[in-house]
Amino acid sequence: MPSLISPSERDYILKGIECNIRADGRQRPDYREVILETGVISQTSGSARVRLAGGTDVLVSVKADIGPVLVDPETGEGADKGQIICNVECAPSASQQFEGRGADELNNELTQMMTRFLSHNTTTLSTPSSTTPSSTGASNNNGAGGINLSKLCIIPGEQCWILYVDALVLDYGGNLVDAVFMGTRAAIFDTRIPKTEVQDLGDGNFDFEVLDDAEDTEVVEGREDMPICITLNKIGARHIVDASPLEELCTEAKLVVAVNRSGELCGLQKGQDGGIEPSLLLEMIQFGKTLGQTLIKQLDAKIKAEADADIIKRQNGQPVVKLGFFAQ
């Protein structure tokens, strides 16, 4: 991760982008090749590795654990919901600047962004049984993150599934946010949660049993509606996607657009010190939305193809070989 750029190099990148040609031969709206593989770490509930050609390498794992539900002491909400706990860590192998405590700020920023985009439910929720009087007729009860947290609850008010999402950034080649979210979406897609059986002991007491049959698992409901992020970098009067590290250094303003498969906007975050004109802002959001939808479609197709291939291999008794780090 370089931290300085020479004026001539900056000029070169700027003029190139003005002419719609970038240093690596791409045009402004072009994304790099994405290498994606799921199920790379065996002892997790789900995992994925995303690599953008020419650098950025992110490993995401999801672990499902049983824990007590988190109830908001003021509103009393959350008693019937599971939790998602996100954590992003940048390894020093990614950049020399991440050594020691160097990455703390970036880690925190990414963790908070992920928490906000995935698990935070700011919209008023409607539960199917409409137990809460505040519920309105919103059609989507899963919030912006897409995941149906109520399904993760085992015994309301007591126990629930907690999904620990850990993203580990191993290599840095620009466009970190997009890669982290792509990886997270793929890892949640790969996640299988064991089924539970709840027994009513009477007197309002419940007990549950986790079925430890490897075949008897559930997928995370609402995983299709999870958003991915598209980062748009404003350089000069233009904007580009999937910036390389040097292009990131020339960026005046950065806009992260979180979008789901139906094209709904799930989050926005403007970064860096430059400003964006309102008209350009709308154009950028629109562009991010369209690109995000296309990307989701392609990612889903890839994940599905891989999962199908794995199932066929298992049925035929062949070993499922993962490339892991040997995929270059």
Partner 1 sequence: MSRAELLSPEGLRIDGRRPAELRKITSTTCVLSQADGSAYLEHGNTKVLAAVYGPREARHRALVLHDRAILNVELNVAPFSSGERRRRSKNDKRLLEMASFVKQTFEPVVIATLYPRSQIDIYLQVIQHDGGTLQACINATTLALIDAGIAMTDYVCACTAGWIEREAAIDLNYIEESSDTSEVTIAMLPKSSKITLTQMESRLHVDKLEEVFRLAGEGCKQMYEVMDKTIRDRAEDLARKMTV
The least CB distance from residue 36 to partner 1, in Å, is: 17
Strand ranges in 69-128 using DSSP code E only, listed in sequence order: 83-90
Which residues, other chains included, contact 218 with Cβ-Cβ below 8 Å and sequence gap of 6+? 192, 193, 194, 195
The least CB distance from residue 288 to partner 1, in Å, is: 26
205 binds partner 1 (CB under 8 A): no
175 binds partner 1 (CB under 8 A): no
Q: What is the DSSP letter of 72?
A: -
61 binds partner 1 (CB under 8 A): yes
Which of 6, 43, 129, 279 forms a contact with partner 1 (CB under 8 A)? Answer: 43
Which pair of structure tokens corresponds to residue 154?
């085992």
59 binds partner 1 (CB under 8 A): yes
**Best CA proximity match to 77, nearest among 121, 119, 141:** 121
115 binds partner 1 (CB under 8 A): no
Q: Which of residues 289-308 bind partner 1 (CB under 8 A)?
A: none
247 binds partner 1 (CB under 8 A): no
The least CB distance from residue 1 to partner 1, in Å, is: 6
Which of 17, 28, 34, 44 forms a contact with partner 1 (CB under 8 A)? Answer: 44
172 binds partner 1 (CB under 8 A): yes
Residue with tokens 């009393």: 76
Strands 83-90 and 159-171: parallel
* Crossing angle of the two packed helices 176-190 and 278-315, in degrees rounded to 10: 40
68 binds partner 1 (CB under 8 A): no
94 binds partner 1 (CB under 8 A): yes
* Crossing angle of the two packed helices 104-118 and 176-190, in degrees rounded to 10: 50
Which residues, other chains included, contact 165 with Cβ-Cβ below 8 Å and sequence gap of 6+? 60, 61, 62, 84, 85, 86, 87, 114, 118, 184, 187, 188
Which one, 76 or 324, has the nearer CB to partner 1? 324
Residue numbers at the binding site for partner 1 (CB under 8 A): 1, 41-44, 47, 54-55, 57, 59, 61, 63, 65, 87, 89, 91-96, 99-101, 164, 166, 168, 170-173, 324-326, 328
